[in-house]
Amino acid sequence: MDLFLIRHAIAEERRAGLLDSDRELTDKGRARFEVMVKILERAGFRFDHVYHSPWLRAVQTAELLRPIADGPIISTDGLAQAPWAGLFASLEGEKLACVGHEPWMSEALSLLTTGDPNALSVRFKKGGVAWLRGVPRPGAMELRALLPPRAHLAQREP
């Protein structure tokens, strides 16, 4: 399985009267993540399924993946909390994207590659992507790439 762990793109700041789960993407966040989607598309990546947290900023980030999604975009409460082994084992497909939040995406990366959610000190920036390959259970996946949200700065147009 190819599993892409994705932290939601840049969202509006927290403020009184606004639930954390209701924060929207900013225009800057959308624009930067659209570039990331183009990078993934140029690299030939497509997703059987896109799973996302039900929080608005994750929903909006997942929707930006639609051009490279061959299957459904699915909300799951499991991506709005600390990761557990059963979450990833229950996902369907061979090429998946999971859009969620920090610190949970970092913990998921650590759990899936080492077996311990706290073994690695990787922190996803907003709009960052980690590509893992293997069996989706603790310690059974290999990190293939970690793309920061500004990966496009390293890209050169032909």
Q: How far apart are CA 98 and CA 62, in angstroms?
A: 8
Q: Are residues 144 and 131 in contact, defined by beta-carbon separation less than 8 angstroms?
A: yes
CATH class entry, domain 2-12+21-151: alpha beta
Q: Are residues 73 and 65 in contact, defined by beta-carbon separation less than 8 angstroms?
A: yes
158 confidence band (pLDDT: 50, 70, 90)? very low
Per-residue pLDDT of 2-32, as tens digits, reads 999 999 999 999 999 988 899 999 999 999 9
pLDDT beyond 90 at 155: no
**What is the chain's mean pLDDT, rounded?**
93
- DSSP at 149: T
Q: Which residues contact 155 (CB under 8 A, 6 or more apart)?
A: 39
pLDDT beyond 90 at 78: yes
